[in-house]
Amino acid sequence: MDTIAFAYMGGKEYEWLFFEVYDRVRRFYRDVRLPINIVYAGKIILPPGTLIRVETASGFVNMYSFEAVVEALYGKLVEMRDDVNDDSITKIFGITTFPIGSRDRYFDIYKKYLGIQVNVGDYHVLALSIKPFFTENKYLFIERVFKGVLHEIGHLYGLSHCHEDCVMNPPKDIKDWDLRTPTYCNTCLRKLKNKEELMPKLQL
């Protein structure tokens, strides 16, 4: 069983969304019989200065610093491993309420990230911003973020983009994403089930 810790990064406004998505992801991997264990790592409150106000063509946008998000998630993962005394936990997924961005070292501009995946030594740090998925329709909001999480986890285990009706098929726009089935296609699911790190361990 491979474990992914899940952490929430944001204020109280969207905690409900985090827990709805968290619970749905847990049930999904159980129902499709993939040995992926989703555990709650807690809430991360980023210190002042990590929320950056960036001027864009459409106005000012608040963003979390890419580096601050990675550092906070890495720290939470190390803390959790120490607390539960389990060195096998090497993956953490953060769901953020603000977009994630980083400043180019030579120019005063920012690159925006919808989702990120970074390896820090043997640890895997993932994050997804819920901001681009926002809608007043709560069910649709949950569905959009849920599919985004499945997409990022698919990449974590080596899946490439797909051309079927599948969460690994990147959308042209948000309307296209809404039409996407909230699951992996049979081919992608079969690839996941054949991944070495998700194969049952033989007892010697």
Between CA 41 and CA 20, with CA 24 as vertex, the angle to 5 degrees is 70
To the query of whether residue 152 is one of the catalytic residues in this protein, the response is yes
Give the whole-angstrom CA distance, residue 165 versus residue 72. 35
User: Exactly one of 152, 164, 196, 197 is catalytic; which is it?
Assistant: 152
Let me know: does 92 contact 71? Beta carbons within 8 Å: no
Q: Encoding tokens for residue 83?
A: 């607390």
Give the whole-angstrom CA distance, residue 12 versus residue 15. 5
Contacts of 76 (CB under 8 A, 6+ apart): 5, 7, 41, 42, 44, 92
Q: Encoding tokens for residue 7?
A: 């952490």
Give the whole-angstrom CA distance, residue 114 versus residue 122. 23
Question: Which residue numbers are catalytic?
Answer: 152
